[in-house]
């Protein structure tokens, strides 16, 4: 029996200290944590954020050939995992979208044999929500989130090689409003347009437990309230979406698999029974095991 029969999940979005300057776990530490959490597999998807500067004053990008040489040989496909095997490992990247660099970003997604390429919006109109919230957030959450979803939709349209649209609700983490959770009703048309495009492009909708954790720990939501807006997911399904990926976006071992069992239990309650991961860009579907964890 696999040690992972409690949560047979592939965690599709994580970072390593060697490649992401904001991370603090080695490859070995992340794999140990994945085994301890009972994950079926885990991906390293380190940051590639042209246009952002690290705290050390360097551009926030990876040496891609060196990353390939280090990571690619370590791959162990979750789909081929046998009883007694350690968790699978996938080679990925999280690309931060900036329109002015889109050609360079498209090329790097095309140039390497990624299992998983995530496109994420970390910066909007040149501003970072963490460092310059006053330049990002408007008095109305609807206005802010409409603008953000338009940019995410642009990123999905431009980066057709990306398999996963990362943390659509990332900007909720730092919004100054008291109840910043991103809701379907904030931007109904924009959500619909994004989902229609993602479904056409076979791009997965990521549920990032980092946002759930942040809303619960720092923004005053209960765990149940911090879960994604059920209307967002129901609309995605209604439009025909069937690619939902799950990630803890762990930068440290303590965060590997964080809130994944609770989120799976919650998704099951919403009638969502399957999740997706990618190997060499090809989707694989897994189903949630019934879990004793309740939310
Ligand atoms: Zn991100
Ligand atoms: Zn990330």
Confidence of residue 5 (pLDDT cuts 50, 70, 90): very low
Q: Which of 270, 264, 263 has its CA nearest to residue 289?
A: 264
pLDDT at 100 > cutoff 60: yes
**CA torsion through residues 16, 257, 206, 141, sign:** negative
Q: Which domains does the chain have, with CATH numbers?
A: 10-287 (3.20.20.140)
Tokens encoding 290: 């019934």
Instruction: Identify the helix (H) or strand (E) that includes residue 41.
Output: strand 41-53
Q: Report CA(160)–ligand 2 centroid distance (Å).
A: 19
Ligand with the closest atom to the CA of 152: 1
Q: Report CA(92)–ligand 1 centroid distance (Å).
A: 13
Work out the percent of the chain whose per-residue pLDDT is above 70: 94
Q: Is 52 helix (H, G, I), strand (E, B) or coil?
A: strand
pLDDT at 239 > cutoff 70: yes
Work out the percent of the chain whose per-residue pLDDT is above 90: 88
Ligand with the closest atom to the CA of 22: 2
pLDDT in tens, 125-184: 989 999 899 999 999 999 999 999 999 999 999 999 999 999 999 999 999 999 999 999
Q: Are 21 and 60 spatial neighbours (Cβ–Cβ below 8 Å)?
A: yes
Tokens encoding 260: 């994944």
CA 193, CA 56: separation in Å to the nearest integer?
Answer: 38
Query: Span 283-290, mean pLDDT?
Result: 83
Query: Span 194-216, mean pLDDT?
Result: 98
Ligand with the closest atom to the CA of 250: 2
Ligand with the closest atom to the CA of 97: 1
CA 267, CA 271: separation in Å to the nearest integer?
Answer: 7
pLDDT at residue 295, rounded to an integer: 39
Q: Report CA(8)–ligand 1 centroid distance (Å).
A: 23
All residues with CB under 5 Å from ion ligand 2: 94, 249
pLDDT at 290 > cutoff 70: no
Q: Report CA(82)–ligand 1 centroid distance (Å).
A: 31
**Alpha helices per DSSP H over the chain:** 27-36, 64-71, 102-111, 133-136, 141-158, 188-201, 209-218, 223-226, 230-238, 260-269
Q: Report CA(212)–ligand 2 centroid distance (Å).
A: 14
Ligand with the closest atom to the CA of 19: 2
CA 119, CA 201: separation in Å to the nearest integer?
Answer: 13
Q: Which of 96, 139, 92, 137 has its CA nearest to residue 112?
A: 92
pLDDT at 3 > cutoff 50: no
pLDDT in tens, 15-49: 999 999 899 999 999 999 999 999 999 999 999 99
């Amino acid at each position: 029996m696999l040690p992972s029969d409690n949560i047979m999940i592939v965690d599709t979005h994580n970072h390593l200290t060697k490649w992401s300057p904001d991370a603090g776990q080695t490859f070995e530490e992340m794999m140990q944590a994945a085994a301890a959490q009972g994950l079926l597999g885990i991906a390293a998807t380190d940051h590639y954020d042209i246009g952002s500067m690290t705290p050390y004053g360097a551009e926030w990008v990876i040496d891609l050939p060196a990353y390939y040489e280090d990571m690619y040989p370590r791959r162990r496909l979750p789909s081929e995992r046998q009883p007694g095997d350690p968790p699978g490992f996938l080679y990925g990247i999280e690309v931060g979208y900036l329109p002015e660099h889109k050609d360079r970003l498209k090329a790097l997604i095309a140039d390497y044999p990624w299992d998983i390429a995530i496109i994420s919006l970390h910066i909007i109109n040149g501003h970072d929500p963490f460092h310059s919230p006053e330049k990002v957030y408007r008095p109305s959450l609807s206005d802010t989130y409409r603008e953000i979803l338009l940019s995410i939709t642009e990123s999905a349209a431009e980066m057709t090689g990306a398999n996963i649209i990362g943390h659509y609700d990332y900007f909720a983490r730092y919004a100054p409003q008291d109840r910043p959770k991103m809701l379907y009703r904030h931007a109904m048309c924009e959500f619909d347009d994004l989902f229609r495009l993602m479904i056409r492009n076979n791009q997965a909708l990521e549920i990032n437990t980092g946002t759930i954790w942040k809303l619960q720990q720092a923004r005053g939501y209960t765990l149940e309230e911090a879960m994604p807006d059920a209307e967002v997911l129901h609309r995605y399904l209604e439009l025909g979406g069937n690619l939902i990926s799950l990630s803890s976006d762990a930068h440290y071992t303590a965060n590997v698999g964080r809130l994944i069992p609770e989120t799976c239990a919650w998704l099951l309650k919403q009638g969502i029974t399957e999740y997706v991961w990618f190997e060499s860009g090809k989707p694989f579907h897994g189903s949630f095991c019934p879990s004793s964890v309740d939310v």
